[in-house]
Amino acid sequence: MNISKPEIICIGEVLVEIMRPAAGQPLDQPGEFRGPFASGAPAIFATAAARLGLKTGFIGAVGADAFGRLMRNCFEAEGVDASQLQTPSSYATGVAFVAYDDSGGREFVFHIRHAAAGQLAADQIPAAYFENVKWLHISGSTLALNTNSRTACQRALELTLAQGGKISLDPNLRLELMPLDEFRRVLAPFLDSADLLLPTESEAQRLTDETDPRRATQKLAHKPGAIIVLKRGPQGCAIFQDGERLDISGFAVEEIDPTGAGDCFSAAFIAGLQASWPLKQVGRFANAAGALAVTKLGPMEGAPTIQQVEILLTAEIAKNAEQKYH
């Protein structure tokens, strides 16, 4: 049997997201919702990577239900190889309910751990799928689900390393799923193999108890030569490697929905590394992708194509040149 062999593989939870249409509508009160939207941090990453032209595959689990069909259709439409989507018997597709407060914070109610997403089976992941792998992307939210998910991620990691591939790790702290101390313990073995770490600035601080970014990244980076990127939202990002720091400014855009921005940033960062660009160019490209991601409602809806990123970058260059001239 022929099997797909993508270069970028993402493993983790697949779910649909059902959200409040505006801020200030908490989940503990009756009200309107919008959705379902295709979602899950790893699934958003995979979609963003495919839109940026990367040959991407996804490993996860969905139910034999309407939401599962929604996810399969989404991956097919986006060009993500979903041949390794498992369908565990008698489990429904995962769901997340989301509300926003007036300051931009989010409140979640998850049905994931005991849904299909939490039943991912390591022994159903074929080694042949990894024959051309260049990067494996793992999210901390996946590691926090349960032992099944961690075992599956460990198998995927081992198969990637056996082929000479690299590991990308987004801590993606979800304290609704796991307490911080346990999160640190679960994350630790995967930090040892990570070539690329993608925490937010606050995640790096919480994971290390260090307020200084340099000290925090030194504690997080276990592999020689690893790249650590602190995602800073509208302020851009800070890139650390071998004791050097590079700050890249962000983009001013109108924020509609911040969900998925970090996943789009991560996909764009790997796209830049795959293209062998200088880190400054990679960071700029990733910042632009993350900025575009917040401009539309829905977790994946704002994930940009490479052409859309290039348009924003070109517009920014022109604006800066005009400001300098005047």
Distance from C-alpha of 37 to C-alpha of 301, rounded to nearest angstrom: 9
> How many whole angstroms separate alpha carbon 276 and alpha carbon 111?
39
List alpha helices for 193-242, DSSP H. 201-208, 213-220
Q: Could you tell me the sign of the dihedral formed by the alpha carbons of 250, 253, 258, 262, in that order?
A: negative
C-alpha–C-alpha distance, residues 323 and 139, integer Å: 40
Contact assessment for residue 47 and residue 10, using Cβ atoms and an 8 Å cutoff: no
CB atoms within 10 A of CB 234: 15
**Among 81, 170, 257, 263, the one annotated catalytic:** 263
- Rg (the chain; Cα; Å): 19
Q: Which amino acid is at 26?
A: P
Helix, strand, coil percentages (3-state) for the chain, rounded to 5, are 40, 20, 40
Residue 79 · residue 96 · CB < 8 Å: no
- Catalytic residue check, 65: no
Q: In sequence order, what DSSP letters do the residues of 154-190 get, joined into one string?
A: HHHHHHHHHTT-EEEEE----TTTS-HHHHHHHHHHH
Catalytic residues: 263
